[in-house]
Amino acid sequence: MTQDHPKLEQAIRLLADLVAYPSVSCDGNRAITEHIARLLDAADARYWTQSDATGTKLNLFASIGPEVPGGVILSGHTDVVPVLDQPWSSDPFTLRIEDGRLYGRGSCDMKGFVAACLAMAPDFAHRSLCVPLHFAFTYDEEIGCFGAQALTAELAARGFQPAAAIIGEPTMMQLVDGHKGCFEYTTWITGREGHGSAPDLGVNAVEYAVKVTSKLLELREALKTMAAPDCPFDPPHSTINPGVLTGGQAHNIIPGRARIDWEMRPVQASDADFVKEQLADYIAQDLLPQMQRIDPEAGITTEVIAEVAGLERRTRNTARDLVMELTGANGTGLVPFGTEAGLFQGIGIPSVICGPGDIAQAHKPDEFLARDQLNQCLIFLDRLGARLEARGLD
């Protein structure tokens, strides 16, 4: 049995404080981020924040150690998914400890990792680190990684180039170096309303939404034939999922508006380009001429909700090598869910995922983080601090 880390009880108290902030994405994360900033300030961290346009959401980027290039980013998001209509056994925003489990919204995904980082921050500050440790805590990961998109753009603009990034999403402290991208879209169809008894005089938006959806399903089948024989993902091809189709008002009214919410999980960027080009050509060459013969104002537009790049496996990866050394792992894994790791990789920072908890618990009622997982994370971070003090990343 693994011995408890000296900071474990402190990390649990910090996690209780973090869970108490109901930082659901739609409500903002400013209060929890300002709380984290105060804790890091007390640990002598240098930090700056970045707000969204509403001022209700903040990214925080902090550094401990020498002001030199490079270093390691520890990254996590502070927003959580809603609890509305979920049958929780207790208050989701009050940490409940029972049978070695820490129950609360976000305890697993992913305030446990943030709490571990905060518990270790004073220890990092007291070490003579050869390179800095950075903390990147973001907003809106759960609804499109918007915070990380803004943060990585700012880091790139500043010419900031750490040597590695570790994203602490729940992987049971296993090393992960790859996942598919997550691209989300809403396609709007505008037709012409009319009486259901005269369908030829209107432009039925639901009918054209069905045609767009059928095209997406056709492209989904095409993607299956494009998978590389050695692709390690399951399934090994890019996927498309039409998630929501809505439109219309009544049985006897030709619907004038319809909407399709759909997503794509590309293995590689070329698959995403293929889908977008094929769909755009089909709409422009086939559907729009049919619609606009009846009503020139009819149209179809696709709104990009989020295009979050996947995490690609790389032959050379400083973050992977570092985490393998610290954990003793002799291999790496893949996950089916999306993270912010691809965004850090996209600005040239080698990135991996490694964090406490089981993703199977995320987003569910009675979400929990096992106490032992939090302990393992603290041990990992302790080893990281010792490694960066002993010889940096050489």
Catalytic residue among 27, 34, 67, 79: 79
Alpha helix positions (H), the chain: 8-19, 30-42, 112-126, 146-157, 205-224, 269-282, 288-294, 318-327, 341-346, 371-391
The answer to whether 377 and 127 have CB atoms below 8 angstroms apart is no
Is 141 marked active-site?
yes
The answer to whether 175 and 311 have CB atoms below 8 angstroms apart is no
Residue 42's alpha-carbon distances to 35, 125, 384, in angstroms, are 11, 10, 21
DSSP state letter for 78: -
Q: Which helix (H) or strand (E) holds 247?
A: strand 239-247
Catalytic residue among 17, 34, 140, 141: 141
Q: Which two tokens stand for residue 293?
A: 């013969």
Residue 320's Cα: distance from chain center in Å?
A: 19
Alpha helix positions (H), 92-181: 112-126, 146-157
d(CA 6, CA 221) in angstroms, rounded, equals 53
Residue 217's alpha-carbon distances to 83, 158, 210, 213, 262, in angstroms, are 32, 42, 10, 6, 11
Largest separation between any pair of C-alpha atoms in the chain: 80
Query: What 3-state DSSP class applies to 353?
Result: strand
- The upper half-sphere exposure of residue 270, i.e. CA atoms within 13 Å in the direction of its Cβ, equals 4
Is 207 marked active-site?
no
What are the residue numbers of the active site? 79, 141
